């Protein structure tokens, strides 16, 4: 602060620009020059406000249209702020010159007798400095209560400083300075504020319990700049002339009193909630996108696994079929071979029989040959006997002849008898010789015949034996082949068993139980977007997996065709299957492509059945989770149809589904106007009549979605004006019910409040409906830090709310 008699050089000391000559620069420029030289404009921030206090009114020297700026004192910290004043971020020294020049031009100056350029106002330059303290020293960081533990490393603490450079208006006696008229008024105010400053300094210096801060605006503005935790420097300027003895002495006394003040300097370090909020928001966005990416990755991995499983099942089946065919072929071959072997064995047996027969024949022939030989020998011995007999007969004849001769006389006929006998004997010899020859010939022929027969039989036997050996060899190799094939088949069966086992291991007991449930058609009505526990999510995903299998087997077009069935039960089952399929991102595109969305909307329009309404709304809610489907649903009149169902039914489960679908559509700012025109918002709010907690939770979610997206669009400058939600009368409802429901519903209502409050055009309605009280309550009592900060941000940034704080 520069204090002193008019014309003694306060402005010269403090406010000279010295643009071209640095040696002429005053404290304001030098201070900013110093600060800029040690700050990093990337991580730190320097901003200025330039004000003047003129006739007890605070005016912005950088935006002169802003007058009567209120002075706000934080009752807890004692910190002073001027919320209406412009705070301009400084880029460089050139920027500083520009701003100070603007300020100088706007400063009220009037000629006085004593100083042709006398300043008739107190000029206050406030330099706001914000510096990241992390780089400085993390270990010395002291954070506000509780937050240190909560955010630890991720918290961005900042050192905040405020430098005030005050060029006080000149202190002078009215008579001496020659002030008159309006100037007397000015001088009165100047003296009043300076007197009040002097009183405060006296009181602080004397440790008085009462410090008359509130006596003037000057002391209110400077409240946190002297006698407290700030460092204060006072420059007193005097005129060395004896004429000014009295002013000089009072100025020096003032300075002397000021020197008695003891300050306790404290570093102000705070959490930068705004950048923390942005950081957390960025992290949440990052985590959300990461989660979505992971989910997509998981889905595609799951799909790949499922495809591989299907492929391995198919190849297993192929393998089974091929091996069954092979085994069948082998068995047929084996059977044929066995038949061939049997036939060959029978042939062999026959040949053996023939062989035996031949052997018997040979034996027989040999026996008969022996017999013939015997007979021949017998014949020969008979011939010998006959010869012996003949010899004895001849002896007898000769005896007889001798007797005859002896008795020649006795009879001539005896001679005749002898000759006959002789002839008989010759004939017998001849016959005998012929017979013997014939028998010998016959024997030799038979022997030759048998010999050749035996030879051919032996050849045949040798042939058969070699043939048998060949067959045996073939049989042996076939048996080996069969055994090999059997081993191969066993291997395949083991592989099948192993795959089945691994399949069984991959399926949890729960999912096995579910297969039964899904096939029997029970449990399909649950719409996944509202699943509550992790277990039920697993349960559902397993259930959906099974439904997907059914869907693959049956085919989507067939399932969709069933939506048009005459039979209501069939329709219900079909819509349940479609609702469950729609819960999976990967199915949604196919469902929409195949006309599933049209079929569902037509069902919603034409059916009178409550179950169909409930499940169809659930299916649409699932499709409405996906941004690309939301526009389609709206363009096909989905919001209007959902609104019709909402007005017609009182069934809480149906209302829950309809509210869920509309809440999802609320999250797309491009559809807001159409949603309102189609009666979607009215229907959403109208469902509150059900009084059912889960329906109300969806309504609150929808409002929070809507308000958040709308606030984003408005902050980006794409739209202006009052909220569409407020036009539908949502504020009264929110004010009446903000603290009436479950924590999650309350949180959604609070969020909706905070987002609506960010828009200045909503301020009037928020104030008129009493929503401002609710907003203040949220800023203080909300259970969540981010919601509290959002409410505070709205309260601080929205001009209309300032006077309520
Ligand atoms: N140290 C100095 N060297 C040269 N000129 C000076 C010096 N101090 C002040 N002056 C000149 O004296 C005149 C009055 O100074 P200045 O306007 O700074 O006084 P002031 O105390 O601010 O007056 P007021 O209270 O009326 O605004 C100016 O013309 C200024 O240039």
Which ipTM score applies to this complex? 0.97
375 is in an annotated binding site: no
Ligand 1 pocket residue status of 115, Cβ below 6 Å: yes
Bridge-based pairing of strands 2-4 and 235-237 is parallel
Radius of gyration of the chain (CA): 63
Ligand 1 pocket residue status of 121, Cβ below 6 Å: no
Determine the atom of ligand 1 nearest the C-alpha atom of 169: 25
| Coil vs helix vs strand at 209 | coil
Q: Whose CA is nearest to atom 10 of ligand 1?
A: 9
pLDDT score recorded for residue 488: 66
Determine the atom of ligand 1 nearest the C-alpha atom of 170: 25
Determine the atom of ligand 1 nearest the C-alpha atom of 12: 18
- Which domains, ranges and CATH numbers included, belong to the chain? 2-271 (3.40.850.10), 278-506 (no CATH)
Q: Taking the chain (805 residues) in consecutive chunks of 10 residues, what is each chunk's mean pLDDT?
A: 92 92 95 92 89 90 91 87 93 93 77 55 93 55 40 62 92 55 73 88 85 91 82 92 90 89 72 74 88 90 88 85 84 83 82 79 78 76 71 71 64 60 68 73 76 78 79 74 69 56 42 32 35 44 57 76 86 88 86 92 92 93 91 94 93 94 93 93 91 91 93 87 90 81 86 91 90 90 88 88 79
Cα 691 → chain centroid:
34
* H-helix segments, 93-216: 93-106, 147-151, 174-177, 182-205
pLDDT score recorded for residue 530: 38
Spell 163-193 as b/e; 16+ CB within 10 A means b. bbbbbbbbbbeeeebebeeebeebbebbbeb
Judged on CB neighbours under 10 Å (0-12, 13-18, 19+), 264 is exposed
pLDDT score recorded for residue 545: 58
Rounded distance from Cα 178 to ligand 1 centre (Å): 18
Ligand 1 pocket residue status of 118, Cβ below 6 Å: yes
Rounded distance from Cα 101 to ligand 1 centre (Å): 17
Spell 283-309 as b/e; 16+ CB within 10 A means b. eeeeeeeeeeeeeeeeeeeeeeeeeee
Determine the atom of ligand 1 nearest the C-alpha atom of 13: 18
């Amino acid at each position: 602060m520069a204090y002193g008699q008019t014309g003694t050089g306060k402005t010269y000391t403090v406010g000279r620009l010295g643009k071209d000559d640095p040696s002429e620069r005053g404290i304001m420029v030098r201070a900013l020059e110093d600060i800029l030289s040690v700050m990093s404009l990337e991580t730190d921030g320097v901003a200025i406000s330039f004000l003047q206090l003129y006739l007890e009114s605070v005016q912005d020297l950088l935006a002169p249209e802003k007058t009567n700026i209120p002075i706000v004192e934080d009752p807890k910290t004692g910190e002073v702020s001027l919320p209406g004043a412009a705070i301009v971020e400084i880029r460089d020294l050139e920027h500083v010159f520009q701003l100070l020049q603007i300020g100088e031009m706007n400063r009220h100056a009037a000629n006085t007798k004593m100083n042709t350029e006398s300043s008739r106002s107190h000029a206050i330059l406030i330099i706001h400095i914000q510096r990241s303290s992390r780089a400085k020293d993390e270990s010395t960081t002291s954070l506000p209560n509780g937050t240190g533990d909560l955010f630890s490393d991720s918290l961005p603490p900042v050192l905040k400083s405020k430098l005030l450079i005050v060029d006080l208006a000149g202190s002078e006696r009215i008579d001496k300075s020659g002030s008159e008229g309006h100037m007397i008024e000015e001088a009165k105010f100047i003296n009043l504020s300076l007197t009040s400053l002097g009183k405060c300094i006296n009181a602080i210096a004397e440790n008085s319990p009462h410090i008359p801060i509130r006596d003037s605006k000057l002391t209110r503005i400077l409240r946190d700049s002297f006698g407290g935790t700030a460092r204060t420097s006072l420059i007193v300027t005097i005129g060395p002339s004896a004429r000014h003895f009295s002013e000089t002495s009072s100025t020096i006394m003032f300075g002397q009193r000021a020197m008695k003040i003891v300050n306790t300097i404290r570093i102000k370090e705070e959490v930068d909630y705004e950048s923390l909020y942005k950081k957390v928001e960025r992290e949440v966005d990052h985590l959300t996108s990461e989660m979505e990416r992971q989910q997509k990755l998981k889905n595609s991995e799951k799909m790949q696994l499922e495809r591989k499983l299907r492929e391995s099942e198919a190849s297993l089946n192929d393998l089974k079929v091929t091996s069954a065919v092979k085994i069948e072929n082998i068995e047929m071959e084996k059977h044929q071979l066995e038949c061939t072997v049997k036939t060959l064995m029978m042939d062999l047996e026959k040949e053996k029989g023939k062989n035996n027969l031949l052997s018997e024949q040979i034996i027989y022939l040999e026996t008969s040959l022996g017999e013939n030989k015997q007979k021949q020998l017998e014949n020969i011995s008979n011939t010998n006997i006959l010869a012996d007999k003949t010899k004895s007969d001849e002896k007898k004849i000769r005896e007889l002849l001798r007797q005859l001769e002896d008795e020649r006389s006795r009879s001539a006929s005896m001679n005749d008898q002898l000759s006959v006998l002789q002839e008989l004997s010759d004939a017998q010899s001849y016959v005998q010789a012929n017979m013997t020859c014939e028998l010998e010939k016959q024997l030799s022929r038979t022997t030759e015949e048998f010999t050749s027969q035996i030879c051919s039989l032996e050849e045949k036997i040798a042939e058969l034996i070699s043939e048998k050996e060949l067959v045996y060899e073939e049989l042996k190799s076939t048996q080996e082949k069969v055994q090999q094939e059997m081993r191969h088949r066993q291997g395949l069966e083991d592989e099948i068993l192993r795959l089945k086992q691994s399949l069984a291991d991959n399926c949890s007991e729960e999912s096995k139980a579910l297969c039964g449930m899904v096939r029997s058609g029970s449990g399909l009505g649950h719409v996944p977007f509202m699943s509550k526990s992790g277990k039920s999510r697993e349960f559902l995903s397993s259930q959906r997996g099974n439904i997907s299998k059914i869907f693959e087997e049956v085919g989507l077009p067939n399932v969709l065709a069933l939506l048009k069935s005459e039979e209501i039960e069939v329709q219900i089952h079909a819509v349940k299957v479609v609702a469950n399929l729609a819960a999976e991102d990967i199915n949604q595109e196919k469902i929409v492509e195949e006309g599933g969305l049209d079929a569902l909307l037509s069902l919603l329009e034409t059916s009178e059945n409550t179950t169909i309404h409930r499940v169809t709304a659930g299916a649409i809610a699932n499709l409405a989770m996906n941004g690309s489907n939301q526009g389609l649903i709206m363009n096909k009149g989905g919001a209007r149809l959902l609104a019709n169902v909402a007005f017609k039914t009182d069934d809480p489960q149906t209302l829950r589904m309809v509210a869920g679908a509309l809440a999802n559509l609320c999250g797309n700012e491009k559809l807001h106007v159409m949603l309102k025109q189609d009666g979607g918002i009215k229907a959403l709010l109208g469902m509150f009549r059900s009084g059912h907690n889960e329906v109300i939770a969806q309504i609150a979610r929808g409002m929070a979605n809507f308000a958040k997206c709308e606030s984003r669009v408005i902050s980006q400058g794409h739209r202006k004006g009052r909220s569409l939600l407020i036009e539908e009368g949502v504020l009264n409802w929110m004010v009446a019910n903000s603290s009436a429901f479950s924590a999650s519903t309350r949180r959604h209502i609070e969020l909706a409040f905070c987002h609506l409050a960010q828009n200045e055009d909503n301020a009037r309605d928020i104030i008129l409906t009493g929503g401002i009280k609710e907003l203040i309550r949220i800023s203080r009592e909300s259970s969540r830090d981010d919601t509290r900060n959002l409410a505070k941000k709205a309260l601080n940034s929205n001009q209309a709310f300032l006077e309520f704080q």
